[in-house]
Structure 1
Amino acid sequence: MGGALTVTLAALAYPSMLGLTTVSTDQSRVIAQTQWGPLTEGDRDFVVKVRAAGLWEYPVGQMALKKGTSKAVLTAGRHLIAGHAALDATCRRIAPMLNVTLPNVASPQQQGFVRTLAADQGKQFDKDFANILRMTHGSIFNTVAKIRSTTKNTLVRALADQANNTVLDHISVMEKTGLVDFDQTLFQQTTPPKLPTSDLTPPPPPPGQPEVVLTPPAGSGTSPTPTVG
């Protein structure tokens, strides 16, 4: 599990301009004026980040339903599927309104997490699943809070509210597995590895490629998409 955990946090560090060669480090720079308020680079990154998270965590949730060996892991898998399906619906709804390009696949780094868990079996899967997902959600929690407290865009603010509830729920269900190594998790959250940008960037979709949809399961109790004016 150590190999997977040492690279988990880096998946949360997205370049500020998806698909563009010139990258600004000023996340507060306004890139568009919209009827819902100004859109900053940080706002745009956040929408992309939420979408990309679902593109690997949703299939991992499906994996947990097939490979998990405990009731708590199965429950966590269902929460991942339902939560990210709901967030994905919001991202897909607001992205064209804000002129944000969404990825159709996760970053190479995130795809590596999926491969790690796909190769695991039995109790090892349960352990890696709980620790990798607890670490990523623990890290992104701070990003959600920052966006929620600083954005002037009502669409992004509503997404942040929804993401806050979802991430906290996912943190809780991972902890309820009883498998989280908190010492290692907190160490990795505060000591992220440095990886090349190419490993961290979800690629923009090819022109004309159909948009990937994360479908909520029937009877999942998925939270409704928030309504904003």
Structure 2
Amino acid sequence: MKRLSLMMMVVFAAFAFQACQNKAKDSTESADSANMTKDTSTNPSATGGIAVDENDAKFVTTAANDGMAEVAAGKLAQQKAVSKRVKAFADMMVTDHTKAGDELAAIAKTKNITLPAAPDADAQKKAEDMGKMSGKDFDKDYVNAMVDGHEKAVKLFTDASENCKDADLKAFATNTLPTLKMHLDSIKAIKASMK
């Protein structure tokens, strides 16, 4: 009887451990998974497969996720920022990243690429943390997040403008890159003025 009880406890513990390991996928992970399972081996329009290679699809989901995160953070900064320069930058983020997101969504639709429905868990956590801040602390955190985010975005779009195999995605990355570089220069200037 002891042996049966011990075995049941071991089995239960194994199931409990496994359940802890299976965290829910966020929207971006789900989109990436959906894109990876689409049949790309034959005619995409006939099979429902995606019309671009895996790396190009990954660029699209990453860019879409990051753009949504920029818009969400920008909307938060429109409400919470105290600096007029930070508020103006946030306005620009909402406008420019919404426009770029709409362009990317139109391209993704023609290529049958699944986009994330919302920013990933990391971006949502960052927005939640920023939402708890106020005043100059909020401004400083937002500015630092925008510098980091735009440095990553410039790198992502530079790589895509050089390496995307799909002509439409390559053109989108190439045409969007100057705006991202301008954003980075602007936010770095704001950060320097805050010291």
Both structures adopt the same fold (TM-score exceeding 0.5): yes
- Point out which structure has higher relative CO (alpha carbons under 8 A, 6+ apart): 1
Residues 79-118 of structure 1 correspond to what in structure 2 (within 5 A)? 79-118=92-131
Q: Which has the higher helix share?
A: 2
Q: Against the structure 1 CA distance between its residues 34 and 90, is the aligned structure 2 distance closer, same or farther, given a 3 Å change threshold?
A: farther
Give the secondary-structure state (helix, strand or coil) at the position aligned to 2:52.
strand
The alpha-carbon deviation at position 22 of structure 1 amounts to 6.7
* Contact kept in structure 1, 2:35 and 2:113, CA below 8 Å: no
Q: Cα deviation per residue 1:75-104 (whole Å; 9 max; x = unaligned)?
A: 210111111111111111111111100111
Q: Alignment partner for residue 19 of structure 1, among 33, 36, 41?
A: 33
Q: Cα deviation per residue 1:16-67 (whole Å; 9 max; x = unaligned)?
A: 97124979xxxxxx877779xx722111111111211122211211111211
Q: Against the structure 1 CA distance between its residues 177 and 33, is the aligned structure 2 distance closer, same or farther, given a 3 Å change threshold?
A: farther
Q: Does 1:43 align with 2:59?
A: no
Q: Does 1:173 align with 2:179?
A: no
How many aligned residue pairs are there? 160
Q: Does 1:163 align with 2:168?
A: no
Q: Give 1:105's aligned amino acid.
A: A
Q: Against the structure 1 CA distance between its residues 21 and 154, is the aligned structure 2 distance closer, same or farther, given a 3 Å change threshold?
A: closer
Q: Against the structure 1 CA distance between its residues 167 and 70, is the aligned structure 2 distance closer, same or farther, given a 3 Å change threshold?
A: same
List gaps (5 residues or longer) in structure 2.
Answer: 1-27, 46-50
* Contact kept in structure 2, 1:117 and 1:128, CA below 8 Å: yes
Taking the aligned partners of 2:35 and 2:59, their CA distance within structure 1 comes to 19
Taking the aligned partners of 2:114 and 2:120, their CA distance within structure 1 comes to 15
Percent sequence identity over aligned pairs: 21
Q: Which residue of 1 aligns with 2:142?
A: 129
Q: Alignment partner for residue 71 of structure 1, among 76, 84, 103?
A: 84
Structure number with bigger Rg: 2
* Contact kept in structure 1, 2:65 and 2:118, CA below 8 Å: yes
The alpha-carbon deviation at position 179 of structure 1 amounts to 5.0
Which structure 1 residue ranges, 4+ long, deviate > 2 Å from structure 2?
14-17, 19-23, 30-35, 178-181
List gaps (5 residues or longer) in structure 1.
Answer: 1-13, 24-29, 182-229
Task: Tell me the C-alpha RMSD between the 2 structures.
Answer: 2.8
Q: TM-score, normalised by structure 1?
A: 0.62
Taking the aligned partners of 1:31 and 1:145, their CA distance within structure 2 comes to 28
